Each structure stands twice: as C-alpha cells, then as structure tokens.
C-alpha cells in the first residue's frame, strides 16, 4: 500500500493578497503626492529666484540711470528664461536728503501678486550731507 503524505496547499489567501494590494496602493499614492508637491515647490523656487534676480537688476539699473534717482514710478517688461516678467519700481525720498529708496516688485502677469519684492537705496549724485545735521561731523562729544 502506497504511503500517503498529507499535502497542504501553500500560498496566500485572497484576504492576504487584498491587504497587500491595499498597503501597496496607499504607499504609491503617498509617493506620487510627494513627488507632485516637490515638483510644484521646485517651480515656485525657480520663479522666486528669477524674480529676485530681475528685481536686483532693476535696482542696479535705476542706480545707474542718469536721472534714475528722481522720485516717481516706473515699470517695464523683461524677458528671462523664455518668459516675460513685469516689474514695477517706486523711487521715493528718505529721511536722509542724500539717499533715495527704490522698491521693486516683479510678477508674471498684471493680475497676479508679486513673486518677489526687493528694496534698495541709492545716493543722489552731487548732493552733500549737511554737516550741522551730523553730530559726528563736529568731532562728536
């Protein structure tokens, strides 16, 4: 008489397979969302960096213009990184009569909030500070 072995089926039950697929699906969803968030954040950081460069460039450009430190508003467009950027600058007086404040805002379109804002200062050419207004000019106490 042949010997019979007890043969027991080996493998996963349907419930175990479904639980494993559920865990895998949740993990993949989290990974995809994380990757999407990183891509969006990278776009934002790139735009913010480019807008900051444009703002710094405009402040320098205004400082170098012959009548750049005249108070008032200016605006314009700049092409950078295959995009057209809009900038607005406001030059205003400060408490010091020899210095002007330059505020620049950069955006991608007229209806959007500025991506970057930057403030700089520029001396007024050929203007000398009043010696009476500076206590250190007399040698100090």
Q: State the pLDDT at residue 2.
A: 62
Confidence (pLDDT) at 96: 92
Return the percentage of the chain with pLDDT > 70, whole number: 82
SS3 sequence, 18-70? HHHHHHHHHHHHHHHHHHHHHHHHHHHHHHHHHHHHHHHHHHHHHHHCCCCCC
Which parts of the chain register pLDDT below 70? 1-9, 68, 127-141
Burial (Cβ within 10 Å: 0-12, 13-18, ≥19) of residue 60: middle
Three-state secondary-structure class, residue 136: helix
pTM reported for the whole predicted model: 0.67
* Domains detected in the chain: 14-128 (3.30.1300.30)
């Amino acid at each position: 008489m042949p010997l019979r072995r007890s043969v027991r089926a080996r493998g996963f039950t349907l419930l175990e397979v479904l639980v494993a697929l559920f865990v895998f699906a949740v993990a993949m969803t989290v990974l995809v969302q994380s990757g999407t968030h990183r891509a969006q954040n990278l776009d934002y950081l790139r735009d913010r960096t480019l807008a900051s460069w444009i703002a710094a460039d405009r402040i320098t450009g205004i400082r170098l213009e012959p009548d750049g430190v005249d108070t008032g508003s200016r605006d314009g467009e700049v092409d950078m990184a295959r995009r057209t950027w809009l900038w607005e600058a406001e030059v205003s007086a400060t408490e010091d009569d020899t210095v002007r404040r330059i505020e620049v805002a950069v955006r991608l379109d007229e209806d959007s909030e500025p991506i970057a804002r930057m403030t700089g200062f520029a001396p007024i050419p050929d203007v000398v500070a009043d010696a009476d207004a500076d206590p250190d000019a007399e040698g100090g106490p």
